[in-house]
Copies of this chain bind each other. A is one copy, B any other.
């Protein structure tokens, strides 16, 4: 039987991307405190095909995923991308995962608590390799008083900062999250100390941006700060100059 999938295609319109999407898969990622943590990812895998190919073997994507037994982290990304590119005879390969990342925190008087942060890793391998890490950090606002303090109970969700970075060398996800949180809290405290406090998505985005500029591990960044309002969300984006 002829292999229809890899037969040359005479049709003019070429497939740009082909692959699998929204695979729910248990993974382990690197964790600074506990070495590894178990979580569940939504995975997309796709390739760009050379023009002579008509289609691809979808099952190979899941085979490659199974080969790694879900050990998918910043270190294994390049290896998986290379395997995809080779086994699918592709011009370029792409791997995108999204997962909740759990972080234990010592809440002031609130005892130990576990927060989670939505994270994404988007990698691609063409002639060069590219890896983008995105973390989403919730923002809440303390009560304005002298000194500012938080109300007992939650202040609700003011918004979040979605930060994407390209790295020069390895950097812990938790260190990135904690840097962003620190910067946001410090900016809010300064803004609230003013006579006429205005907390804006613009000022927070710029503040986080300046912080990332100062981190030598980061070669590129983009910061979008969202504020959830009653009728709509407002947002501002800054990125690497």
Contact = CB atoms under 8 A, between A and B. Distances in A.
Interface in A151-171: 151-159
A232 interface: yes
Given A26-B39, A200-B55, A237 B18 contact: yes
Contacts of A112: 66
Interface stretch (A71-79, A83-91, A128-136, A141-149): A141-149
Interface stretch (A119-127, A172-180, A203-211): A203-211
A113 interface: yes
A13 B209 contact: yes
Interface string A227-241: 111111111111101
A186 interface: no
A156 B228 contact: yes
A15 B154 contact: no
Nearest to A1: B196
Contact of A156 (B110, B140, B202, B205): B140
- The 6 A-B pairs at the shortest CB distance, nearest first, are namely A156-B158, A38-B38, A154-B229, A23-B232, A55-B202, A17-B237
25 contacts: A11-B206, A11-B210, A17-B224, A17-B237, A18-B201, A18-B234, A18-B236, A21-B234, A24-B116, A25-B116, A28-B38, A55-B202, A55-B236, A62-B114, A62-B231, A113-B231, A151-B197, A151-B198, A152-B196, A152-B197, A152-B198, A156-B157, A156-B159, A156-B227, A156-B229
